[in-house]
Amino acid sequence: MIRISQSPERAKRVFDLVAPHLFRGPAHICHLDECVGGRKLHWISVGAPQSRRVILYLHGGAYFTGSGVAYRGLAGHISKATGLRVCLPDYRLLQDAPFPAAFDDALQAWNYLLSIGYRPQDIVLGGDSAGGGLMLALLAHLTQTAQHPRAAFAMSPWTDLTLSGASLQTKSEVLLPVSRMNDVVDRYLDGAPRNDPRASPLFARFDHPPPVLIQVSRDEALLDDALRMGAVLGDAADMRVWPDVPHVWQMFAGYIPQARSALAELGAFVQTSFESDNR
């Protein structure tokens, strides 16, 4: 579905146009946005979200597509499942600025949340695919600077831009053809080392990470990226491997029952992470 060509800009425009219609959210989504440091932040919620708690979500799209507009539906489902507001930044993509611009923008979004009164323990990090890897890179940096979010969750995360996972050779990928991933990495990193922990959190150091839920399909090319990431995180990882579903199947809520079940699992994980505060 996502195909890089000579024009990543066109691929992004097409995805932004199609995704809101293909990946519909629940009813009654509230979608607001604001500009912070030259980047747009999207605030998405359903119903009456809990106050003073938030999810900082980094969208997928192989670092050349995706936006808050395209991910409005999935963010709405996440808000409904968790009872929290979702903050989704439009971080710079590979056609906008060279690496590590996306990481810098993710960190800027975190710092903005702190500046408006959220504490680290009020924030849950989330992301999918490339955004899941970016989220885990941010998490590693935060733990190294003694800033610990409440929890984190990753859907089918892309964690190793060295492309050394065995499942890349044995499984196919519909949303991002494996044969093109090398080209994507070269364009995104623009000469930076592939094992830079800001790009490949598989090689990052995590200092006392919070609980991290990882959902991945047994049948997808990024399976080994997720499994090896879970091994790096150790006891902090809550690894959930799902059969017979595609990459980031949670986006297909409304189409397949496994998407609804995975979102319910995610919602329970996030709610449980705050239980100690509710006692």
Which residues are known to be catalytic? 129, 220, 247
Give kind and range of the element (H or E) at residue 86: strand 85-89
- Exposed, middle or buried by CB within 10 Å (0-12, 13-18, 19+), for 141? buried
Structure-derived torsion over alpha carbons of residues 266, 268, 273, 276, reported in degrees to the nearest 10: 170
Dihedral-angle region of residue 213 (phi above 0 means left; psi in -120 to 50 means alpha; beta otherwise): beta
Cα dihedral 192, 108, 263, 46, rounded to 10, equals: -150
Phi/psi at 78 (nearest 5 deg)? -65, -40
Residue 231 carries which side chain, given as an amino acid letter? A
Residues β-bridged to residue 152: 125, 212
